[in-house]
Amino acid sequence: MSLHHMVDVIEDFRNSGFECSGIVIGDDPRQAKFCSDNGIKHYDYPNDPLSYKFQFAWLSAIHDQKDYICWLGSNNVHSQEYWDKCKDRIRDNKCATFGGNKFVVMSSDPEKNETCVFNTRGKYLVSSGQFFLTYSLENSVDLLKMYKKDQTFDFDGKILEQMTSKWGWGIVENISEDPESCIDVKDGINIHSYESYIIMSQYPRWDSNLVIAARYPRIHELMNGDYDE
């Protein structure tokens, strides 16, 4: 689902006049074939240890020499309204990092129809869909020493901590308070499970997963079983 979403996003940005490219890093030959068919760069790289893969991902993105780097999560979809806000922000003065601070948590299981909204802590942003100015990243983060070998999460948080330790939290810009700026679709194999969010009664409830899927074709396809293979 997320690969199809990436293709959609790249096409949308190009149609809006932006020069952009996509990079996928992994060791699944089916993903490599999909990327080849859709004009996305694919690097064959093992998923374990995950810290090395993320290090390689950042270095590869910097090497692509675009103004900004945006990471898309492997189980996330973003609204068109969010991408339009991002395009408007890119057209403005350069910003070290920007994104939204909320996301909707839902299950890909049609029987688990309850959803909730998660709000990031402090000035942190949602990792999927967050933009980093490549210049700022290069000049504040030591990517070769950033992660511990056995690290399995918080890869974006470590980036932000090093950037803000040099320039302060004023460099972080929140451009969206809309929960559907990012939708996190849990399928049972995620680091943070659907259940770990939905049991939190303090998290506001949102539309059911079927209602959300009706608004997003890629999520509808996922729940319909189109990506089962």
pLDDT band with cut points at 50, 70 and 90 for residue 94:
very high
Domain ranges for the chain, please list them: 68-223
pLDDT given for residue 60 in this prediction: 95
**pLDDT per residue as tens digits for the range 101-119:** 999 999 999 999 999 999 9
If one counts every other C-beta atom within 10 angstroms of the C-beta of residue 139, the result is 12
User: Per-residue pLDDT for 90 more than 90?
Assistant: yes
Q: Where are the beta strands (DSSP E) in the chain?
A: 23-26, 41-44, 68-70, 76-77, 97-100, 102-107, 115-119, 131-133, 172-176, 183-186, 205-206
pLDDT given for residue 191 in this prediction: 62
**Alpha carbons 43 and 60: distance in angstroms, whole number:** 9
**Alpha carbons 203 and 188: distance in angstroms, whole number:** 20
12's enclosing H/E stretch is helix 2-15
pLDDT band with cut points at 50, 70 and 90 for residue 77:
very high
Q: Please state whether the predicted TM-score (pTM) of the whole model is above 0.75.
A: yes
